[in-house]
Amino acid sequence: MRIILFGPPGVGKGTQAKILSNDLKIVHIASGDILRAAIANGTELGKKAKTFMDRGELVPDEVVIGIIQDRLKEKDAANGFILDGFPRTLPQAEALDKVFAKAGIKVDRVVSMEVDKEVLLKRLTARRVCRKCGAIYNLSADKIENSKCPKCGGELYQRDDDKEETILRRFEVYQNQTRPVKGYYAGKKLLVEVDGIGEIRDVTDRLSRALRQ
C-alpha cells in the first residue's frame, strides 16, 4: 500500500506513521527525519537545510524532491510506503506524480489528520524526541523521568523548531504553502480526512478504517 499522511505540524503524523508502518509492514519515509539525520551527520545538505528548518521555513523544493526521489528508489520502498511530511507544496505533489507515473505506480490514499491549532501548539511545545531511537513523547501525557526515553534510555530533547515562535511560523507556512496540497488530492479523489484528537490507539483505529475505505 502507498500512503501519504498529511496534516499540520504536531498533528501526530510521525507517531501514527510509525505505528501504521509496523502494522502494515511498509516502510515509513519522513522527510523531516531524513533532513534531521543529515544535520546530525554534518553533511552539506544538512547545513543547507538547517538554516530553513531553524526558522520554521520549508527547505527548497528541488532539495527535498531530490531526497525523496532517491529514497523511494531504495529496495525497501518497493512493497509500499507511508510518506510523512512530503509533499508539502504543490510543486512537490506534482513532482511526486511524475516519479510515480515513471515507475508505473499510484498512491492508494492520502489521509489528512485534523486537529485545532490551540491543541497543536500545546502538543508541540510539550513534544520531546529520543535522540537514540526517535520515539516521540508528550511531557504532559507520558510518564517521563529524568529526561530519559522509557523505551531505550536515550536522552530526550526538544526539537529546535518546537519553540513557540518557530511553531507559529510553521503554522503560517502550513496555511500558505502546504494546505493547498489537500485540495490537489481531493480533486484526484484520493483524500480522506480523519480526526486526530484522542488517544493514540483511537486515532490509529480511525486511520486504519480510513485506509480500508
Q: Which range touches ligand AMP (CB under 6 A), out of 84-92, 118-126, 141-149, 202-210? A: 84-92
Q: Which range touches ligand AMP (CB under 6 A), out of 86-94, 130-138, 145-153, 187-195? A: 86-94
Using the minimum distance from each CB to ligand AMP, give the nearer residue, 114 or 212.
Answer: 114
Task: Give me the catalytic one of 2, 71, 123, 127.
Answer: 127
Counting contacts by CB under 6 A, is residue 174 touching ligand AMP?
no
Counting contacts by CB under 6 A, is residue 9 touching ligand AMP?
yes
Using the minimum distance from each CB to ligand AMP, give the nearer residue, 52 or 100.
Answer: 52
Counting contacts by CB under 6 A, is residue 52 touching ligand AMP?
yes
| Residue 206 annotated among the catalytic residues of the structure | no
- DSSP for the chain? -EEEEE-STTSSHHHHHHHHHHHHT-EEEEHHHHHHHHHHTT-HHHHHHHHHHHTTPPPPHHHHHHHHHHHHTSGGGTT-EEEES---SHHHHHHHHHHHHHHT----EEEEEE--HHHHHHHHHTEEEETTT--EEETTTS---TTB-TTT-PBEE--GGGSHHHHHHHHHHIIIIITHHHHHHHHTT-EEEEE--S-HHHHHHHHHHHHH-
| Residue 127 annotated among the catalytic residues of the structure | yes
Using the minimum distance from each CB to ligand AMP, give the nearer residue, 65 or 149.
Answer: 65
Task: Give me the catalytic one of 48, 117, 159, 179.
Answer: 159
Counting contacts by CB under 6 A, is residue 16 touching ligand AMP?
no
Residue pointed to by grid coordinates 503554522: 171
Question: Catalytic amino acids?
Answer: 13, 88, 127, 159, 170
Contacts with ligand AMP, residue ranges (CB under 6 A): 9, 31-32, 35, 52-53, 56-59, 64, 85-86, 88, 92, 161, 170
